[in-house]
Amino acid sequence: MDKSWMGTNRIKKPYIDGVAAFIDYAVHNLLKTSNIDPRGNKQHLTMPCPCTNCLNHIDHTVEEVHLHLFSNGIDLNYTNWIKHGENYEPSISAPTPVNATPTHDTDENEEGKPLSAGKPSEVSAELFHKAHLYVIQNTDEIVPYIE
């Protein structure tokens, strides 16, 4: 399973698609390992949340996990999704701090000045929150999870 999306910008397509694939994978495995009718309502399913706050210690509904992955980000050390149906595979990559400050690719900084193309830029929490809400409210792939 491709996990390259985990360290990408949370408002970009690779992260959005990666979260959708992760949720589908986790729900598929949850249904496979439990006695839940796959045609039933998935809104009440709960699973460990791999966000940087919950760290798989707290179960939430699928919708809440989805929202946490956008608001908090995924724990970058969670490279073997064993709590979501993946077989354990030892990782040889260097660990990344769980609550590492994300960087965000933008075309301009907060003062409206252009940035060099492709270089990451840190943005304020307020600006990030506004961008996150915009993406959630304007991305067709996310709308079904928040309705």
Q: What is the pLDDT of residue 117?
A: 46
* 69 falls within a domain: yes
Q: At what angle do helices 62-71 and 125-138 cross, to 10 degrees?
A: 140
Rg (CA), the chain: 16
pTM for this entry = 0.58
* 112 falls within a domain: no
DSSP string for the chain? ---GGGGS-TTSHHHHHHHHHHHHHHHHHHHHHTT--TTS-GGG-EEE--BTTTTTSSEEEHHHHHHHHHHT-B-TT--S-GGGTPPP----SPP--TTPPP-B--SB-TTSPBPPTT--B---HHHHHHHHHHHHHH-TTTHHHH-
* 111 falls within a domain: no
Q: What is the pLDDT of residue 27?
A: 92
* 96 falls within a domain: no
Question: Which structural domain range is residue 71 located in?
Answer: 1-88
What Å distances lie between residue 18 and 34, 36, 108, 114, CA to CA?
24, 25, 25, 28
Q: What is the pLDDT of residue 103?
A: 52
- How many structural domains are present in the chain? 1
Q: pLDDT tens per residue, the chain (147 residues)?
A: 899 999 999 999 999 999 999 999 999 988 887 766 656 556 678 999 999 999 999 999 999 999 999 999 999 999 899 999 888 776 555 455 555 555 555 555 556 655 554 556 666 777 766 776 667 666 666 656 655
Q: CA 3 to CA 58: how far, in whole Å?
A: 22
Q: What is the pLDDT of residue 45?
A: 86
* 3 falls within a domain: yes
Q: What is the pLDDT of residue 126?
A: 75
Q: What is the pLDDT of residue 48?
A: 95
* 99 falls within a domain: no
* 40 falls within a domain: yes
* 107 falls within a domain: no
